[in-house]
């Protein structure tokens, strides 16, 4: 194993030696953190050794990961991560911020943040000799697993709710996974997946259940450190990171990544982490606002399908991430998410609803005075808008239809005020 000592339960601190397959704490059932050998990493590496690596994917951080590179060099598996960071002037002006960055996870091979987790889980499956990897998904996690698995000829089974967007189901099928649509919710698919993994001996990738998913998602924190934070001067206000929250695994993964860097002495200050949820799927935000890590299920109905979850399986750690990082949770209306899709599009960034939710949360925080213009902010767009065309079309009017003549075009443009 690559600098990997075992597991520690997030909630009861039980420490467990490395085993081939382990998902949750055997003592209390809580989420597990993978424990790295920080001393060994410090002895072998410095930040400059990471920065100088030529690898243009999340595998540039292999020294900080609990798995080894599974190969597939000239495949999408080696294109996951190392996503771009933008500073769109139009958004900066509209927000009134002095320092603003947007990290676009829609540039991953299957167009969402979930490629990070799936790349690491696929690597882990190869290490343990798993024949089949299975996951529940509203679409993005499944597409990520199907794509990463296809890259190295790994068998994948995806259980998704039948209400998942057609574009996401198409991805699952095109990548060659065995796809089963469940006549129920994401949570129903999640529970069935766990049962199937036990029955058939499949390796389960489920978000927030498999501890290696957070290990993949933490690589975004490493990139934020390398792309943004290492250029901060001493005395700067802490970076505020806004990200949408469904199961809670992305924000807990970001927190784990920043904690790893601080434990190594490579990061001086923890960024503030702000989780954003729709008012129609707000179980984690509700727990945070109630001052508890105990998650009470909700009936999720948000149009942002990627964060529509009744019972977030990584909710406790997600609450803790915001508390320990001195951030907060923000609830936004679905109408705010739709408007944020338009705002991002006007800056040349096409986001699915879950990705736009993070910007909507920032806009609300600024409007309510929770952040100031001199607070440095980074927003994560978690997925490409092509994932959910139906939602995108809700944000814009239908285009005009005209006769194929210049007179018709001129008449249309005159009505729009586009020509004299």
DSSP string, 102-158: EEEGGGSTTSBTTHHHHHHHHHHHHHHT-SEEEEE-SSHHHHHHHHHHHHTT-EEEE
| Residue 418: predicted pLDDT | 65
Residue 32's DSSP bridge partners are 9
Instruction: Write b or e for each residue in 148-162: b if 16 or more Cβ atoms lie within 10 A of its Cβ, otherwise e.
Output: bbbbbebbbbbbbbe
Strands (E), 279-340: 328-332
The phi and psi torsions of 278 (rounded to 5 degrees) equal -70, 145
| Residue 1: predicted pLDDT | 46
pTM of the model: 0.96
209 has pLDDT over 80: yes
Smallest Cα–Cα separation from 320: which of 6, 9, 4, 5? 9
Q: How confident is the model at residue 19 (pLDDT cuts 50, 70, 90)?
A: confident
Own/partner pairs, 264-268, CB within 8 angstroms, 24+ separation: 264/38, 264/41, 264/42, 264/64, 265/42, 266/47, 266/225, 267/225, 267/229, 268/234
| Residue 234: predicted pLDDT | 62
The string of pLDDT tens digits covering residues 32-88 is 999 999 999 999 999 999 999 999 999 999 999 999 999 989 999 999 999 999 999
Residues in the chain: 420
Q: How confident is the model at residue 233 (pLDDT cuts 50, 70, 90)?
A: confident
3-state secondary structure of 381: strand
> What tokens does 21 get?
């397959």
| Residue 186: predicted pLDDT | 92
Lowest mean pLDDT among 81-85, 167-171, 219-223: 167-171
CATH number of 76-108+214-394: 3.40.50.1100
What's the maximum distance between 2 C-alpha atoms anywhere in the chain? 76
């Amino acid at each position: 194993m690559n600098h990997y000592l075992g597991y520690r339960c997030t909630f009861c601190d039980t420490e467990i030696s490395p085993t081939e397959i382990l998902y949750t704490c055997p003592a209390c059932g809580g989420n597990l953190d993978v424990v790295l050998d920080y001393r060994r990493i410090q002895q072998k590496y410095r930040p400059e050794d990471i920065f100088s690596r030529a690898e243009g994917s999340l595998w540039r951080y292999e020294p900080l990961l609990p798995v080894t590179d599974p190969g597939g060099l000239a495949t999408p598996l080696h294109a996951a991560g190392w996503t771009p960071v933008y500073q769109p002037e139009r958004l900066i002006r509209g927000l009134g911020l002095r320092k603003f960055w947007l990290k676009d996870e829609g540039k991953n091979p299957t167009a969402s943040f979930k490629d990070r987790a799936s790349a690491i889980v696929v690597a882990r499956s190869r290490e343990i000799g798993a024949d089949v990897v299975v996951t529940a998904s509203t679409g993005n996690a499944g597409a990520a697993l199907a794509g990463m698995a296809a890259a190295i000829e790994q068998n994948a089974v995806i259980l998704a709710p039948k209400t998942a967007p057609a574009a996401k189901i198409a991805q699952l099928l095109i990548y060659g996974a065995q796809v089963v649509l469940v006549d129920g919710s994401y949570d129903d698919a999640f529970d069935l997946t766990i049962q199937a993994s036990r029955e058939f001996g499949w390796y389960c990738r489920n978000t927030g259940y498999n501890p290696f998913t957070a290990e993949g998602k933490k690589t975004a924190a490493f990139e934020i450190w390398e792309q943004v934070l290492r250029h901060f001067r001493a005395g700067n206000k802490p970076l505020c990171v806004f990200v949408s929250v469904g199961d809670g695994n992305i924000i807990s993964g970001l927190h784990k990544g920043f904690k790893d860097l601080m434990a190594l002495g490579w990061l001086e200050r923890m960024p503030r982490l702000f989780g954003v949820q729709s008012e129609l799927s707000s179980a984690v935000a509700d727990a945070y606002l109630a001052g508890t890590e105990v998650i009470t299920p909700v009936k999720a109905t948000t149009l942002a399908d990627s964060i529509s979850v009744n019972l977030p399986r990584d909710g406790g750690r997600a609450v803790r991430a915001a508390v320990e990082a001195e951030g907060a949770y923000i609830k936004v209306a679905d109408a705010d998410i739709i408007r944020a899709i338009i705002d991002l599009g006007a800056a040349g960034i096409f986001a699915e609803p879950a990705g736009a939710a993070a910007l909507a949360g920032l806009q609300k925080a600024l409007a309510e005075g929770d952040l100031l213009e001199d607070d440095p902010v980074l927003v994560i767009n978690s997925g490409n808008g092509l994932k959910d065309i139906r939602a995108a079309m809700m944000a814009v009017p239908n285009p005009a239809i005209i006769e194929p003549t210049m007179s018709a075009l001129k008449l249309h443009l005159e009505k729009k005020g586009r020509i004299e």
